[in-house]
Amino acid sequence: MDLQLDLFAALASESEQPSKPAPAPRRAAAPTTTTRPTVAAAPAPCAKPAAGRRFSDEGAHRTAVALGEAVAGAWHRAHGGPDMAVPIGLVAALTLIRQRDAHGPDLKAQILAQQPRELIEMYRQIWAGHWQARPDLIDRARVLHEWLNAPGEIDDHRAYCVEVVTEAALKAGILDLTGHPDAIERSRTDALSHVIMLLRSDGARQGLGEFHTPPSVTTMLGEVMLAELSTETTMEAKGPQAGQHIHDPAGGSGGMLRAAAQALRWRGHDPADFQWSMVDIDPIAAACAAVNAIVWGLGPNVVVACDDSLANPRAVEDARAHARAVIAHRNQVMGTARMIAAVRRTQALLETAVAA
């Protein structure tokens, strides 16, 4: 039975799959196949709509808090260890999938029916599929999934921890928060922010200067960002204009950008028509921001830098150059893969002809 995974659901439009690097921001005057994993047969659940639950903003924030508590609790009870990138990476991967067929087998039930080693392979394929579509963002999120590429280090205990964290995240409602086909519904909260905060110790957070910003504050600051954009436009074209650049120099996991994107949508704009950038010194926070940019539908012109914006005023430009290199590498890899596939098809045709 195939999982009803839509690995490219958040990147379905052509604009979400950049064939070339994003242009420099301006002010308006302004490695595997993409086949879906197969799993052991699961009990046939009742069909249900793919849209999932609809939350109010407050309800989504409460569910995100409960999600963070559930994941942190499961990881610690399983004695998962100090590498918090593992449980955060599992939740991040789950935010990237959703039910493909509204009347097909229930995605949550299918995932829960998998064995630990099958789950690990599923996670590899989720990241690999999205790398092909958005290598710039998935490479920025590498700290969350690079452990999957060291299969010799994934022992039975690590596989068990993967299973219990996956179960905790699914039962706490991760697919309800991020599995909706409507980007407005997927963007009601930052599902990864509370997971980070609850897994990281107080001392580590203070050392990084990392503190959770309440959703009500990010919403207000998102409005402030748009107000600043409006002051840059001409008197004849008041309000945000497509192509403008929205930047957060201390972005965390992207909460301000989420709020600004939602404010744009409520004004009738598509966030994919704007340019987005952010910087954060914490690799895990920056990785989560890169994943969130996909989940929230920010579009092809997104740059996430992991740097100190005070020490390096060119952090965004440096990150953009790195993104260009990653996209070029993806294009080379995919071109080589297509050439190999074409050669194999030709060989098969020749062998068939000779046999005849």
Q: How far apart are CA 109 and CA 181, in angstroms?
A: 19
Asked whether 193 and 212 are in contact (CB, 8 A), the reply is yes
Q: Which residues contact 168 (CB under 8 A, 6 or more apart)?
A: 70, 71, 73, 74
Sheet arrangement for strand 302-306: 245-248, 275-280, 302-306
pLDDT score recorded for residue 240: 87
116-133 and 156-171 helices cross at what angle (nearest 10)? 70
What pLDDT was estimated at residue 201? 56
What is the model's pLDDT at position 203?
A: 38
308, amino acid identity: D
Domain boundaries, the chain: 9-30+32-321
Tens digits of pLDDT across the chain (356 residues): 445 454 444 444 433 445 444 444 443 333 333 334 333 333 333 334 344 578 898 999 999 999 999 999 999 999 999 999 999 999 999 999 998 887 889 999 999 999 999 999 999 999 999 999 999 999 999 999 999 998 787 999 999 999 999 999 999 999 999 999 999 999 999 999 999 999 985 433 444 444 556 665 566 656 666 666 655 544 345 678 899 999 999 999 999 999 999 999 999 999 999 999 999 999 999 999 999 999 999 999 999 999 999 999 999 999 999 999 999 999 999 888 888 888 788 778 777 766 65
